[in-house]
Amino acid sequence: MRTDVWFVRFFRAAGLGLLATATAFAIAAMGATAQTAPTQAQVTFTKDVAPIFYRSCVRCHRPDEIAPMSLLTYNDARPWARAIKERVSKREMPPWFLDKTLGIQKYQNDPSLTDEEIATIVKWVDGGALQGNPADMPPMPASEDITTWRIGQPDLVIKYPTFKVPARGPDLYGTLDAPFGTAEDRYIKAIQSRVVDGSSRKVVHHALSYAVEPGDNADGGDDSGGGSGLFLVEYASGKNATFYPADAGLLLPPGRNARVSYHFHSIGEEVEAKIELGIVFYPKGYVPKHIQWSKQLGQEAATDIDIPANSIVRRDGYTRLNSAARIIAWQPHMHIRGKYQCLELIYPSEPVKTETVTCARWNYNWHTIYNYDPGVAPIVPAGTLLHVISWWDNTTNNRFNPDPKNWVGAGTGRTIDEMGFSWIGWYDLTDEEYKAELAARKAGPAKDRPATGASAALSEARP
C-alpha cells in the first residue's frame, strides 16, 4: 500500500514531462494496483470523503476548535491525508473507543465510522487524495450542528472567575465561585461545562461543578465541592456532554452559587484559565418525572490499585443499586496507564445472571461519555450490582506510559497516579415503573433490544 501511494505521488509530481524511468515505475505501479484501481479512481474528497468528515470530524476539526487542523475544505484536509488514513484505520479518530464486538452498540450522537467509511477514506488517500468535482461538495454544516455547546444554546452561561496558572509549579487544586442568579426552583434539562480557549485547555486537568449554598466556605478538597455541594457536571480533557433523557432533570434550588472544583497543571508559560458552565432549563414551574443522577461508581477498584513495573493489572469495583433504575450514560475513568474498562451488570436473580453492557479502550486524552440510545439503555431491577472492571498497562506497549520501570499506585490527585471507576448517569425507578418500562421495552421493536440479549436476562431477573 505504502509503495502504491509513493508511486501515485511520484507520478503526479512528475507531471507531463515524464522521464522514461518514471513511466516505467508508473506502469509498474498501475499494474500493482490494477485490482483496486477502478474504485480508487472514483473516490474523491468532494463526493465521498467530505460528507464523512462533516458528520464525524468537523465539530472539532474547524478553526478555533480543539483539534489542531481544520478538515472543512479540500485544501485544509489534503496535507493531512496520510495522518488521516493512519488515525481512522486505527480507530483513534474520531475519539470513540467503544468495543464494537460486545455489549450495547447503539448510542446517541455516535460519531464513529463504519468499516465502509474507513475503507472509503483509505481508498481516497491511497488513490492520491483527489479533490473531485467542486460541485459535489456537501453544504457546510449548520453552525448549531457543530457548536462547542453540545447541549444546544444554553439558557444560562456561568463564567467562572479567570484563574492565572503560573508558568511553573506543582499541580493546583481549589475552587472558584460565581452566582447562578436564579430566584426559584429550576430543573436542569441539560448541562455542560467547557473550557473556553486553546490555552485554557492545556492547563485544565479537570473541573467539577457544584451548586453550593452561598457562604459555604467548606473546601472539602478535590472533588467534594464543599459541605452543601450538589454535584452538577464534570469537565475533563476531551469530554463531551451528558444528554438527559426526556422528562429527567436535576433540581437547582434558588439562590445557589456555582462552584467549580479545579485541578490545573502548569505548562511552562503563564495561562489564564477560563471555564464556563452552560445550562438548559425546563420551563419555570415544570417538574420532570425523574431526577437524573451522575456519580463516580465502582470506586473500590480504585482504592487498592497496585501495579508492579512492566505489568498489566486488572481491578474490580462494585456498587449496588438500591432502587430499580434506567442507566443512561457511561464514562470510564482512569489515568495514563489505563487500557480498557468494562461495565457489567450482576442481576439479583437466582441463579445469578451477569451481562457485559459496554467495554471501551481507554485513552486519557478523551473522557468520552457514552450515552445509551433510549431504546436500549439498560433497565435494571433493585439490587443490581454495577461491576466496573479496569485494566492498566504499565508496560512499554502503552505509549502514554512515562516510566514502565516504576510501580504505580492509587491516587485521587496527581495525573501520574492511577484511578479506576465509571461515571454512571441514571435515574431511579419505583418497582412499578421498572415493570412498566420493561413491559414497554419488550413490546417495542426487536431491533431496539440490546444486542447482548439484555432484555431476556432482565425479564427473568427477580428482585
CB atoms within 10 A of CB 162: 12
Q: How far apart are CA 162 and CA 173, in angstroms?
A: 14
For the segment 88-107, give every residue that binds ligand HEC (CB under 6 A): 88, 93-95
Q: Is 378 a binder of ligand HEC (CB under 6 A)?
A: no
405 DSSP assignment? T
Among 8, 29, 84, 419, binds ligand HEC (CB under 6 A): 84
Cβ 199 to ligand HEC shortest distance, Å: 14
Q: CA end-to-end span of the chain, whole Å?
A: 56
Residue 376 makes CB contacts below 8 A (sequence gap 6+) with 104, 106, 448, 449, 450, 454
Place of cell 443522577: 293
Q: Is 119 a binder of ligand HEC (CB under 6 A)?
A: no
Let me know: does 270 contact 395? Beta carbons within 8 Å.
no
Cβ 100 to ligand HEC shortest distance, Å: 15
Cβ 86 to ligand HEC shortest distance, Å: 7
Q: Is 455 a binder of ligand HEC (CB under 6 A)?
A: no
245 DSSP assignment? P
Site string for ligand HEC, 270-309 (x = CB under 6 A): ----------------------------------------
Q: Is 369 helix (H, G, I), strand (E, B) or coil?
A: coil
Nearer to ligand HEC, 7 or 80 (CB): 80
Nearer to ligand HEC, 243 or 434 (CB): 243
Q: Is 241 a binder of ligand HEC (CB under 6 A)?
A: no
Q: Is 56 a binder of ligand HEC (CB under 6 A)?
A: yes
98 DSSP assignment? B
Q: Is 51 a binder of ligand HEC (CB under 6 A)?
A: no
Among 22, 26, 32, 66, binds ligand HEC (CB under 6 A): 66
372 DSSP assignment? B
For the segment 354-373, give every residue that binds ligand HEC (CB under 6 A): 365
Residue 124 makes CB contacts below 8 A (sequence gap 6+) with 43, 44, 45, 48, 49, 81, 130
Which positions touch ligand HEC (CB under 6 A)?
53, 56-57, 59-61, 66-68, 80, 83-84, 87-88, 93-95, 111, 113, 365
